[in-house]
A and B are shown apart, each in its own frame.
Chain A
Amino acid sequence: MDFEETAVKARAFSYFRAATIDQALDAHARAGDDARFIAGGQSLVPALSLRLQAPRLLIDITHIAELRGIGREGAYLRIGALTRHCEMLTEPLIAEFAPLLHAAAPFVAHPAIRNRGTFGGSVALADPASEFPAMTLALDAEIEIAGASGRRRVRADEFFIDLFETALQPGELITAIYVPLFKADQRFVFDELARRRGDYALVGCGMLATFASDRIDDIRISFFSVGNRPTRAKAAEAALIGFGLDAEHIAAAQAALAGDLAPPENDEVPPAMRLHLARVLLGRLLGRLGEGA
């Protein structure tokens, strides 16, 4: 057996525990491309142990106070990058103002992984099979980034570029995610199809809709596990806006999905099967949305 392919011990690295954002950015800049930030470590540590990555320096960002905390800021809920997945389940502010994240959280991994994995880490990694990155799209969230040239905010629509590729430049840090506050005229639904609870989904979807009486005024539908990045179903959205959620319009949205999703070739889940599952899921979710979710 080839040891390199089966290694479960990381290569040697140096470890630095940053106390502030500036310290973390400075350390990364001085170590060059060879550094990685570590947050919950729930994706990075396996990658190091399998030697898929071998940085010279790990910069621990979990002790940076500024990256913590959840609070209202104007029309947004500011969710610190270090917010743990488990906090999405227990924090009252999340349940009240970002209930879609609360609904998605039980589907993210297993309890012990949720105890350490962070929201910022999940969004930074941008795994196309992950729940939270796709939900930032459905929520029209903004990602706050700190880098050498200061702070900026990037809309989720512009953040996810390609497979594990985002608007984050090397050495930049996600500091927080800003989610527009959930409103009384909105409804949300989330679900995924997986072979086993806690596994990555075959297909998953979450959506946020604004209603004017029984008609959809606005809707954002976001899929994950369907391609190289979390994907909004814009054609399906367009098929629904201005209409009520009756069988005819749900069927139209399901049909439109073929224009939104182009699942990749895959031996276990061929593209046609994944598209079919996405349609089934979309139909179920729109049905639930129509019932008041």
Chain B
Amino acid sequence: MRGFDETLLDEADETVRVRFVVNGRKVACEVAPRETLVDCLRDKLELTGTHAGCEMGACGACLVQVDGRAVHSCLMFAVQADGARIDTIEGLTDSGAIADLQAEFHRRNALQCGFCTPSMLINAYELLSQVAQPSREQIRDALSGNYCRCTGYEAIVDAIDAVAKARSAGGAR
């Protein structure tokens, strides 16, 4: 890798080319360094399932997986993700990885307006990949950074709890 070149300092407004693998597909984008990953996903790649709420890390609406871990896409600039693997709610939906969670959310009215739902699902997906049988306390803890202004959370916890139990009963997934 090259060392630091001072002419870079005068190019703050110029776009740079970044490449990542989004939902299994290689993509390249032109972004300004100050463009957040959530803006890049929504505006450049038209993946609008990732939501932008507070844009400062507080509401949790913007979760995506970067290299397999849930992160806030408003707390990352797209340039930082150059070379990374990114999975959004669209990709997780298409692959069927969260189909049971989605069905259970639907069944139990664990969403109303849906603004928080993609991130709730991503968090639940990560939790269940780490802890097969989480307690309700652990589920609440995992969702502690995700605001929901509609449901009162109870139905969301119910849905995740039910999926955890169903997955365990049905053997390893």
Point out residues on A near B: beta carbons under 8 Å: 8-19, 23, 26-27, 30-31, 38, 41-42, 45-46, 48-50, 56-58, 60, 62, 86, 106, 109-113, 115-116, 196-198
Contact = CB atoms under 8 A, between A and B. Distances in A.
24 contacts: A8-B54, A13-B12, A13-B33, A14-B9, A15-B33, A16-B4, A17-B82, A26-B3, A26-B4, A27-B4, A41-B76, A45-B57, A45-B77, A49-B36, A49-B55, A86-B69, A113-B145, A115-B69, A115-B71, A116-B72, A116-B76, A196-B144, A197-B144, A198-B144
Contacts of A14: 8-9, 11-12, 33
Nearest to B63: A112
A110 B75 contact: no
B60 A112 contact: yes
Given A19-B1, A26-B3, A110-B60, A12 B34 contact: yes
B16 interface: yes
A57 to B, nearest CB: 6
Contacts of B34: 9-13, 48
B70 A111 contact: yes
B69 A46 contact: no
Give the most central of B76, B80, B123: most A CB within 10 Å: B80
Contacts of B56: 8, 46, 49-50
Nearest to A198: B144
A50 B123 CA distance: 26
A9 to B, nearest CB: 7
B141 interface: yes
Contacts of B1: 17, 19, 23
Interface in B20-36: 32-34, 36
A10 B71 CA distance: 19
Nearest to A22: B3
Contacts of B6: 30-31
B82 to A, nearest CB: 8
Contacts of A86: 69
Contact of B12 (A12, A62, A198): A12
Nearest to A19: B1
A27 B6 CA distance: 8
Give the most central of B4, B12, B127: most A CB within 10 Å: B4
A112 B71 contact: yes
Given A15-B79, A41-B75, A111 B3 contact: no
Nearest to A115: B69
Contacts of A30: 4, 6
A23 B3 CA distance: 6
Nearest to B126: A111
B167 interface: no
Give the most central of A8, A60, A111, A113: most B CB within 10 Å: A111
